[in-house]
Amino acid sequence: MVSFCAMALLSLVSGGSAAGELVLAEGGRSPYQIVVADDASLSTKHGAEELQTFLEEISGAKLPIVSDRQPATPREIVIGDNARLRAIVPEIDLKPLGPEGYIIRVVGERLIVAGGALRGNMYGVYGFLEDHLGCRWFAPGVSRIPKRTRLTVGPIDERQVPVLEYRAPFVFECFDGDWCARNRMNSNAARLGEKHGGKVKFADGFFCHTFNRLVPPEKYFDDHPEYFSMVKGKRQRDRSQLCCTNPDVVRICTETIRAAMRAQPEAAVFSVSHNDWYNYCECPACSELARREGSQIAPVLQLVNSVAEAVEKEFPDKIVETLAYQWTRRPPKTIRPRPNVVIRLCSIECCFSHPLETCDGEQNRAFRADVETWSKIAPRLWVWDYATDFKHYLLPFPNQRVRGPNVRFFVAHNVKGIMEQDTYNTPDSELAALGGYISAKCLWNPNYDPETAMNEFLEGYYGRAAEPIRTYIDLLHDRVERENIHVNIWAECNSPHLTDELLIEANECWRQAENLAADDPATLNRVKLSRMSVDYAILERGRLQAAEKLPLNERFAALAAARFGPFFETLDRSALTRLHEWKLLDKKAYRRELADNLGLSEK
C-alpha cells in the first residue's frame, strides 16, 4: 500500500500563525524560494516549475526557483537531493524510496520534498499540491485549484511509496502527459516525455501478442512449418501460434528479443506472448508438457523462461513479459517464472458489474482461483484488466463501483502492476474521463475511497449538474447489485442490466443535468457529450423494438424519436470515431441507417 508516516493535514485558515505553521504566501507575496540542484533530473526541475505555477495560481505569489549553490535563506522549499537537503538533514536516506517514492517534511521553517530522481521528486510535488493543498486534475483542461489569500502549512512528516510499479489507466482521455504525471500515473500509452520522467515503456512492436513478430510465418513457414502450431495433426500457417518446444523457435525468439533490447535501450518491457486467438500447438512435445503441468501455458512459459535466462546477464534491468490470457491463464503445476519475467494476467472473461472478490459468477470464481495461485508462484505479477464494453463503446456500463475494490483485490494478491483497458482508440466514450480518474486515484493509493473520487470528479467536471448525474450512476449500479445481474465486456443493447423504464428515468436525470448546466457553456458541452451514452442505449433499443427483437413500448419509441436529433447533433460535433473497437464510425451512414430502422424521416 501507499505508506504514510504521521501525515498532518494542511491548515488553510486566516488568522495568526500557529506554532509550527509555515506561512508560504500572504496577500500575493511570499518570503519563500524553491531550491533545486543545477544538475537535477529534468523531471525534478519540471516538478519545481509546476510547484511555482500552481502556488502562484493558488495564492498569487510567484516563488523564485534558485540553485542550491546560492546562499541559503531562512524560508525555502527544497526539491530533491541536493546540497541544501544534505545540509538540513544530512542523515536522510532516499534509496528505500525507489524511483517513484518521496518524503514531504517540514524542518524548521523549510519544506522538504525529496525522493527518487526518476519521478519521485516530481510526484512529491504533486502529492503536496493534491494531498495538502487540495488541487485536483480531473481531465485534461479540467482541474480544481483552490484560491487562498493566506497559504499556510502545518507540520508534515510523510512518506509515500507506490505499491504498484506499473499504473496505467488505458483510456484515451488519460493519455495526456501532464494529466498522467499530475495524477502520478506512469502509463505506457501516455504521452509522458523526459520532463515527466518518462514511463513504463514497452518496446515498440513488443507490447503484446508477439508470436508472429518474433517468428513471422511469411518468412519461415514455407521452409520450416515445424516452427508453427500443429492443430488436428496439421501445421498452421494462418492464425497460428508457435511450437514453443522447438529449439529453433527458442533460438529465433531469443535472437529477436536480444536484438530489440540492443536497438531500444530506453524500453523496459519486451513481450513474448501468444497471438490473440486459439490454435495452440498440439504436437507431441507441447501436448505432453501441457498435460504434465495441467495448463497450456507450460510450453509458452518454458519458452519465455529460456529467452529471459539467455538475455538476463546482458540486460539485467529488462523485463520479459508474457500473457496469462484465455487458454494460457491457468497457472502451471511446477514451472515457475524467472525473476526477470512478468506474468500479465488477463481478466477478459469476467463479470465487471460486481467486485471480482465477491462476485458469485462462474467466470469470476475461476478467475479468483487463478489469481490466488499466480500470486504465490509469480515473482512479478501484473494484471491486464478491462473497463469498457468493447462491442458498444457508448453503452451504459455499470463498472464504476468495482474499480476501487478490484484494485485492492489485486494488490492483496501480490500484483505489482495494473493496466485498466478502457476505450483507448477514441475520445468521448461512455463516462471515460470519470472512470480514468477513479482508476488513477486507486492505482496510486489502493486505499483511496472510490466514492470520494467519484464525487469530487462529478463536482469538478459537471459543476451544478453533478447531483442528477450521480443519481443516474446510482440508478444503473443499484440495479445490477440488487438483481445480481452479471455484465461482461461484450454486453449487447438488450442486456438485462438495461430496461426501458431504467432508461426513461436515466433520460430524466440527464435532462435535469442539462438544465442545471445551461448557463455554463463548457460544462453544458461536457454534460451533452456524456449524455450520448444514454441516448445511444435508447436509440439502439428502439431499433431492436422496431425490428421486433424486443417487445414494442410505445412510450419508449416516442422517447427514441425525440432523442434522435439531439443525439446526432452532439455526435456530429463530438470527437468520437468508433462505436466499437474494430471499425471507424461513418457518422452520416450511421444516422441514415438508424433513421431508416426507426422509421424516422430524414429531410
Q: Does 496 have pLDDT greater than 70?
A: yes
Give the CA distances from residue 29 to residues 26, 56, 60, 150, 418, in Å, rounded to whole numbers and listed in that order. Answer: 5, 9, 7, 9, 43
Q: Which of 20-24, 62-66, 83-87, 419-423 has the lowest mean pLDDT?
A: 20-24
Mean pLDDT across 116-123:
98
Please list, in sequence order, all residues whose beta carbon lies within 8 angstroms of the beta carbon of residue 548, skipping any fewer than 6 positions away: none
Mean pLDDT across 176-193:
98
The predicted pLDDT at position 11 comes to: 31
Q: Does 581 have pLDDT greater than 50?
A: yes
Q: Do residues 97 and 120 touch, judged by C-beta distance below 8 A? A: yes
Please list, in sequence order, all residues whose beta carbon lies within 8 angstroms of the beta carbon of residue 109, skipping any fewer than 6 positions away: 22, 74, 75
The predicted pLDDT at position 493 comes to: 98
Mean pLDDT across 152-178:
97
Q: Does 17 have pLDDT greater than 90?
A: no
Which cell is 454 given? 467519484
pLDDT digits (tens, 9 = 90+) for 347-356: 999 999 999 9
Q: Does 402 have pLDDT greater than 80?
A: yes
Candidates 535, 587, 588; CA nearest to 564 is 535
- pTM score, whole prediction: 0.95
The predicted pLDDT at position 19 comes to: 55
Three-state DSSP class for 100? Answer: coil
The predicted pLDDT at position 61 comes to: 98
Mean pLDDT across 491-499:
98
Three-state DSSP class for 285? Answer: helix
Burial string for 193-228 (b: 16+ CB within 10 Å, else e) reads eebbbbbbebbeebbbebbbebbebeebbeebbebb
Q: Does 15 have pLDDT greater than 60?
A: no
By the 10 Å C-beta count (0-12 exposed, 13-18 middle, 19+ buried), 87 is classed as exposed
The predicted pLDDT at position 203 comes to: 98
Helix (H) and strand (E) counts in the chain? 18, 18
pLDDT digits (tens, 9 = 90+) for 431-443: 999 999 999 999 9
Mean pLDDT across 91-97:
96
The predicted pLDDT at position 5 comes to: 32
pLDDT digits (tens, 9 = 90+) for 252-306: 999 999 999 999 999 999 999 999 999 999 999 999 999 999 999 999 999 999 9
Q: Do residues 563 and 533 touch, judged by C-beta distance below 8 A? A: no
- DSSP assignments along 412-464, one per residue: HTTEEEEEEE---SSSS-TTHHHHHHHHHHHHH-TTS-HHHHHHHHHHHHHGG
Which cell is 120 given? 519521485
Mean pLDDT across 503-514:
98
Please state, in angstroms and rounded to a whole number, the distance separating the CA atoms of residues 199 and 175.
12
The predicted pLDDT at position 18 comes to: 54
Q: Does 2 have pLDDT greater than 70?
A: no
Please state, in angstroms and rounded to a whole number, the distance separating the CA atoms of residues 58 and 79.
19
Q: Which of 10-19, 372-381, 384-393, 439-448 has the lowest mean pLDDT?
A: 10-19
The predicted pLDDT at position 503 comes to: 98
Q: Do residues 24 and 152 touch, judged by C-beta distance below 8 A? A: yes
| Alpha-helix runs per DSSP H in 551-602 | 554-573, 587-598
Mean pLDDT across 544-552:
97
pLDDT digits (tens, 9 = 90+) for 472-487: 999 999 999 999 999 9
How many other CB atoms are there within 10 angstroms of residue 584's CB atom? Answer: 9
Please list, in sequence order, all residues whose beta carbon lies within 8 angstroms of the beta carbon of residue 488, skipping any fewer than 6 positions away: 349, 350, 351, 352, 363
Q: Does 14 have pLDDT greater than 50?
A: no
Residue that is written with C-alpha cell 512492436 in the block: 205
The predicted pLDDT at position 1 comes to: 33
Which cell is 164 given? 504498484
Candidates 507, 497, 525; CA nearest to 564 is 507
Candidates 162, 169, 113; CA nearest to 138 is 169
Candidates 364, 433, 462; CA nearest to 405 is 364
- What share of the chain has pLDDT > 90, as a percent? 96
Q: Which of 5-9, 69-73, 299-303 has the lowest mean pLDDT?
A: 5-9
How many other CB atoms are there within 10 angstroms of residue 436's CB atom? Answer: 30
- DSSP assignments along 366-406, one per residue: HHHHHHHHHHHH-SSEEEEEE-S-SS-TTS----GGGHHHH
The predicted pLDDT at position 67 comes to: 98
Q: How confident is the model at residue 446 (pLDDT cuts 50, 70, 90)?
A: very high
The predicted pLDDT at position 601 comes to: 81
